[in-house]
Chains A and B, each alone.
Chain A
Amino acid sequence: MAAGVRARGLGHRYEASAGPLAVLSDLDLDVAPGEHVAVVGRSGSGKSTLLSLLGGLEAPQQGQLSVGDHDLETLAGDNLATFRRETVGFVFQHFGLLEALTAEENVELAGTLSRSGRRARRARARDLLGAVGLGDRLDHRPAALSGGERQRVAVARALANEPDLVLADEPTGNLDDESSAVVGALLADLPARHGCSVIVVTHDAVLAGGAERQLALRNGRLESPVRP
C-alpha cells in the first residue's frame, strides 16, 4: 500500500571545516500516496540529503517527518532498520549491487534480511527480474551486466519487500539515453503496477518530466512548480 510523505520545517546541516553548512532549511513537503514526484536541483542543493532523510538513512535534525504511519524523528536503531526494510525501497545512482552475488541473489537479499523463506524470496526475485526484462539474466553477476541492466536489477531489488515508497537517487546518472528511458519508464510505472509512491531526485530533465509533479530544491527549500 502506497505511503504518503509529510515533512514540516525539516532542517539539516553538516559540519564542514569552514563551519556548519545548512543543507535543508525549514523544508515542507507533501507527497500523496501513490504519487510520482521528481525533485530537481543543482549539485549540492541537498537532494540526496532529502532522500536520505526520507529513507531513514539518517535522522532529521530539525522538524517533523512522517512516511505513512511512521514518524521518522522517533525511530532509531532496529526500528529504523525495520522501516527501511519494510517501507522503503532504494535505487542508487551507483546501482548498489553486491558484486559477489548474481542478479537473482541481489534481489533476494532484501528478502534474506526480512528472513523470508528461501523458496518464497527466490520466486519473488524471479518474478521481479522477469518484470524488468531480465528473466534471462538471473545468474549473471553485476560485472556481466550493462549499466541499464544493473539499474533494472536495482529497481527489482527495491521492490522485493513490496515497499510503500520507492526512493531513487539519480537513477539514470550513469546510464546512456536508451537505458535511461527504460529505467525512467519502469519507475514511472511503479505506482500503477506496484501501488507505491515514488520520489526521484535527478538532474535528468527527461526523467523528471515523467513524474506527475516536479519540485525544485533551492536554498534548502522546495519550490513548485519548477521554474525553467
Chain B
Amino acid sequence: MRWRDALELAARSVLRRPGRAALTMLAVALATALLTALLTIADTAETRVLDELAEGGPISAIQVAAAEATPGQVQQDDLDAGAEKDLDEGALEAIRGIAQVRAVLPVLTTPVFVDRPTETAAGRPLEPFRDEMVGADLSRPGLLPVTTLEGRLPSPTSLTEVAVSQGYLERLRLDATQADQVIGTEIRLAAGRLFPEEGDELRVRGRWIRLEVVGVVAQEAGSGQLLVPLRQAQIARAWSQAGPDRGAELGTGTSDFTGLVVVARGIDEVADVRAAIDDIGYATSAPENVVASVRNYLGVVDIVLTSVGVIALTVAALGIANALLAAVRERQREIGVLKAIGARDRDVLAVFVVEAGVLGFVGGVLGTGLGAAVAAGVGELVNRYLVEQGLATVSLRLSTPIMVGGVVGATLLALIGGLVPAWRAAHLPARDAVVGA
C-alpha cells in the first residue's frame, strides 16, 4: 500500500469517529499548547532578564572608557579604570577592526546647565541645576544600552529633541508611571564657556538652546540625565572647549569621545573582544560573568519548564496509545478483512501509525496556535504589570524553532504512542481477526 493511500485510509478512520478523534487531538493540542506557551514565556523571560543585566542594551555590549586598562581588568565585569586616556577616531577605528566586533557606537558626555523647567509638576520651584548631556549615535538604538520607557528616542540627526532619564523625573518629583507627563515639555539648557573679563577675571557664559522632551529612557550609555544625538553633544562641547582653558575648568575633558559602546557578534565573543580592547589599551566593562551565571540558572528553569511540557506531551501520547488500542480492538474484524484481501502486516502497521501521526500532527498544529495565544495572554498581563512598575514592556516572541518543535514533537510522540497498537494490529492472526469481534 502506498503511503498516500494509507494516509487517506487513516484520515477516513479518524473522520469516522469524530468524537474520539476530537478528544484525542484535544489532549495532544493541550499538551502542545502547554509546552509551546512555557517555552515561549521562558525564552522571553530569559531575553528580558539578560537585557536587564545589560541595562537595556544588547547583552553582548561592552562599554569602553576613556581610560587605561588596569591589570586584570578583563577578568571582572565592573569598570576598573586606570589613568585617563583619550579615545579618538584612531582608537575607534582600531576597535572597529577587531574581527568579532559587530558595531562601535561612540558616546560623548559633556556638562550643561539646565534652567528650565522652573517648576516641578507639583508646581514647586525647581532650582537650575548642572548635569551631563549624553550624546550617542542614535541611528542604531537597538545596539545601545538604552531602554525607552515612554515616548521615543530623539531623531538621530535632530538638534531640538532630548530624551530624559528617570533621574530627571525624580528631580521633577514624578514617578515612572507618570513619565508621560514630561513628553512634549521643554528644557532650556546651556553649554558653558569661560570668557576673560577685565583684569584676570573669567566669566562663564552659556550657549543656550531649547529642547523638546520626546521620551523617557533608562540608559547606561553615559552618566547624565539628558540623552541627545551625538552631534548635539559635540556642538555643545566644542563651544565649551573654545574658551581659554579649552573647557578644563568646566570638566569637558580632551578626549574626542568619553566612551564607546562596542557590540560583539555574540555573547560568546565578548571575552575575546574585551581582551583585544585591553591589548589596544583601554579599560572596559561588561556584565559577562553575571550574564553567564544567570544563563546557567535560566538553563535550569528552561529544563524544568520543558520537562513539564514533555510530561504533558507524554501523557497525551499515552492517550493516543489508549485510543488506538481501543480502535484496534474495535476494528479487529476490519483488520482481518484487510489481511484477507491481501494487506501485508506492514500495510496494516502503516494505516495505524499514520492514523496516530495524523492525530499528533493536527493536535500539534492546533496546540502550537493555542500555546501562542496563551503566551500572548500571559504577555499582556506581564506588560500591564511592567508598565505599572515603570518598566519597559516585553515582546513575546514565538520563535520558529519552538513552533516547529511543537508540531514535530507532538507528531513524533503520537507516532511513538501509536506504535504499540499499530504493531498489535499488524500482527493479529488473519483468521482470528476475521472471525473475532
Contact B431 A157 (CB under 8 A): no
* A94 interface hit (Cβ, 8 Å): yes
Contact A57 B339 (CB under 8 A): yes
Contact A114 B342 (CB under 8 A): yes
Contacts of B430 in A (CB 8 A): 52, 57-58, 84
Contact A115 B340 (CB under 8 A): no
Given A48-B435, A58-B431, A78-B344, are A100 and B15 also a contact pair (CB < 8 Å)? Answer: yes
Nearest-Cβ distance from residue B142 to partner chain A, whole angstroms: 55
Q: For residues 40 through 59 of chain A, which have their beta carbon under 8 Å from a beta carbon of chain B? A: 48, 52, 55, 57-58
CB contact between A99 and one of B5, B16, B338, B343 (< 8 Å): that residue: B16
Given A96-B434, A112-B1, are A84 and B340 also a contact pair (CB < 8 Å)? Answer: yes
Contacts of A115 in B (CB 8 A): 1-2
Contacts of A132 in B (CB 8 A): none
Q: For residues 1 through 40 of chain B, which have their beta carbon under 8 Å from a beta carbon of chain A? A: 1-2, 5, 9, 12-13, 15-16
Nearest-Cβ distance from residue B124 to partner chain A, whole angstroms: 80
* B272 interface hit (Cβ, 8 Å): no
In the complex the two chains form, what is the Cα distance from A77 to B347 in whole Å?
12
Chain A 109-134 interface 0/1 with B at a Cβ cutoff of 8 Å (1 = within): 11011110000000000000000000
* B429 interface hit (Cβ, 8 Å): yes
Q: For residues 79 through 99 of chain A, which have their beta carbon under 8 Å from a beta carbon of chain B? A: 81-82, 84-86, 89-90, 92, 94, 96-99
CB contact between B341 and one of A52, A99, A110 (< 8 Å): that residue: A110
* A161 interface hit (Cβ, 8 Å): yes
The residue of chain B having its C-beta at the shortest distance from the C-beta of A141 within the complex is: B16
Nearest-Cβ distance from residue A66 to partner chain B, whole angstroms: 19
* B45 interface hit (Cβ, 8 Å): no
Interface centre among B1, B9, B15, B431, by most A CB within 10 Å? B431
CB contact between A85 and one of B13, B15, B341, B345 (< 8 Å): that residue: B341
Contacts of A157 in B (CB 8 A): 341
Given A58-B430, A99-B16, A112-B1, are A161 and B342 also a contact pair (CB < 8 Å)? Answer: yes
The residue of chain B having its C-beta at the shortest distance from the C-beta of A81 within the complex is: B344
Contacts of B2 in A (CB 8 A): 112, 115
In the complex the two chains form, what is the Cα distance from A115 to B343 in whole Å?
11
The residue of chain A having its C-beta at the shortest distance from the C-beta of B4 within the complex is: A118
Given A58-B430, A113-B1, A115-B2, are A94 and B341 also a contact pair (CB < 8 Å)? Answer: no
In the complex the two chains form, what is the Cα distance from A81 to B342 in whole Å?
5
Interface centre among A48, A89, A90, by most B CB within 10 Å? A90
The residue of chain B having its C-beta at the shortest distance from the C-beta of A84 within the complex is: B342
* A1 interface hit (Cβ, 8 Å): no
Nearest-Cβ distance from residue B349 to partner chain A, whole angstroms: 12
Interface centre among A77, A89, A98, A115, by most B CB within 10 Å? A98
Contact A57 B340 (CB under 8 A): yes
Q: Considering only CB atoms and an 8 Å cut-off, how many residues of chain A contact the other chain?
A: 30
CB contact between B5 and one of A78, A85, A97, A112 (< 8 Å): that residue: A112
* B51 interface hit (Cβ, 8 Å): no
The residue of chain B having its C-beta at the shortest distance from the C-beta of A115 within the complex is: B2
The residue of chain A having its C-beta at the shortest distance from the C-beta of B341 within the complex is: A110
* B337 interface hit (Cβ, 8 Å): yes
* B333 interface hit (Cβ, 8 Å): yes
In the complex the two chains form, what is the Cα distance from A112 to B13 in whole Å?
16
Contacts of A114 in B (CB 8 A): 342
Nearest-Cβ distance from residue A228 to partner chain B, whole angstroms: 30
Nearest-Cβ distance from residue A19 to partner chain B, whole angstroms: 20
* A186 interface hit (Cβ, 8 Å): no
In the complex the two chains form, what is the Cα distance from A94 to B437 in whole Å?
11
In the complex the two chains form, what is the Cα distance from A78 to B16 in whole Å?
29
Contact A100 B13 (CB under 8 A): yes
Contacts of B333 in A (CB 8 A): 94, 96
* A101 interface hit (Cβ, 8 Å): yes
CB contact between A55 and one of B5, B16, B340, B435 (< 8 Å): that residue: B340
CB contact between A109 and one of B13, B16, B341, B435 (< 8 Å): that residue: B341
Contact B341 A84 (CB under 8 A): yes
In the complex the two chains form, what is the Cα distance from A111 to B205 in whole Å?
99
* B86 interface hit (Cβ, 8 Å): no
Given A94-B333, A98-B337, are A113 and B343 also a contact pair (CB < 8 Å)? Answer: yes
In the complex the two chains form, what is the Cα distance from A46 to B434 in whole Å?
15
Contact A92 B342 (CB under 8 A): no
* B334 interface hit (Cβ, 8 Å): yes
Contacts of B341 in A (CB 8 A): 84-85, 89-90, 109-110, 113, 157
Contact B340 A90 (CB under 8 A): yes
In the complex the two chains form, what is the Cα distance from A82 to B339 in whole Å?
10
Contacts of B5 in A (CB 8 A): 112
Contacts of B347 in A (CB 8 A): 81, 113
The residue of chain A having its C-beta at the shortest distance from the C-beta of B14 within the complex is: A100
Contact B339 A96 (CB under 8 A): no
Interface centre among A77, A90, A94, A112, by most B CB within 10 Å? A112
Chain B 408-437 interface 0/1 with A at a Cβ cutoff of 8 Å (1 = within): 000000000000000000000111001100
Contacts of B16 in A (CB 8 A): 99-100
In the complex the two chains form, what is the Cα distance from A94 to B337 in whole Å?
10
Contacts of A82 in B (CB 8 A): 342
Nearest-Cβ distance from residue B336 to partner chain A, whole angstroms: 8
Given A48-B435, A100-B12, A100-B16, are A81 and B1 also a contact pair (CB < 8 Å)? Answer: no
Contacts of B434 in A (CB 8 A): 52, 57, 92, 96
Q: Which 3 A-B pairs have the closest CB atoms?
A: A85-B342, A96-B337, A100-B16
| 22 A-B residue pairings within 8 Å (CB atoms) | A48-B435, A52-B434, A57-B340, A58-B431, A77-B344, A81-B342, A81-B347, A82-B342, A84-B339, A90-B337, A92-B337, A96-B336, A98-B12, A98-B334, A100-B16, A101-B12, A112-B2, A112-B9, A113-B338, A113-B342, A113-B343, A114-B342
